[in-house]
Amino acid sequence: MATPEERLAALGLEVPEVAAPVAAYVPAVRSGQHVFTSGQLPMRSGELIVTGKVGGEVSAEEAFMCAQQCALNAMAAVRAELGDLAQVKRVVKVVVFVASTPDFTGQPGVANGASELLAQAFGDAGVHARSAVGVPSLPLDSPVEVEILVEV
């Protein structure tokens, strides 16, 4: 059976190294049989891949890709905590924050960027409960922020 990272590699993706936090927190915390990640931004090589509001400067398609990058970064935080993504038994919950214009209502479609990628990486164990929330702004003018809760 393929590992989550092997499944991602088949898609041409890889889990990056965990990024240093941008404030006073840690990327992930294990409590019992669960790992909680901090909110992950769409950072790649130390920079946001795009900035602005969805429905304004950022298209829904760009935001979908941002949610995918956030999910990869969340997986990096989990891997750093556990040492191996194969230890994940189930993705339990995903919360996606979308910085959007007041008239934008496509937050669930943006959140699918993270949800679909997690399902591809973890198979049935990657299907999860989710919240997709529109917000007026996010740190560093990020359009998307994702946090995940996994069972190990």
Each residue's pLDDT tens digit, 81-119 = 999 999 999 999 999 999 999 999 999 999 999 999 999
Q: Would you place residue 21 in the very low, low, confident or very high pLDDT band (cuts 50, 70, 90)?
A: confident
Among residues 90, 81, 101, 85, the alpha carbon closest in space to that of 26 is found at 81
Q: Quick check: is 47 in a domain?
A: yes
Q: Quick check: is 144 in a domain?
A: yes
Cα(18)–Cα(82) distance, integer angstroms: 12
Q: Quick check: is 50 in a domain?
A: yes
Mean pLDDT of the chain: 96
Q: Quick check: is 24 in a domain?
A: no
- Please count the residues of the chain: 152
Q: Quick check: is 16 in a domain?
A: no
Range of the domain at 80: 4-11+33-151
Q: 137, 21 in Cβ contact below 8 A? A: no
Q: Quick check: is 22 in a domain?
A: no
Q: Quick check: is 146 in a domain?
A: yes
Q: Quick check: is 130 in a domain?
A: yes
- Residue 31 Cα distances to 11, 54, 67, angstroms: 31, 34, 25
Q: 113, 64 in Cβ contact below 8 A? A: yes
Amino acid at 49: I
pLDDT at 23: 87
Domain count, the chain: 1
3-state secondary structure of 114: helix
pLDDT tens digits, 55-77: 999 999 999 999 999 999 999 99
DSSP characters over 40-87: B--EETTEES--S-BTTTB-HHHHHHHHHHHHHHHHHHHHHHHS-GGG
Handedness of CA 152, 125, 120, 149 (dihedral sign): negative
Q: Domain containing 97 — which CATH number?
A: 3.30.1330.40
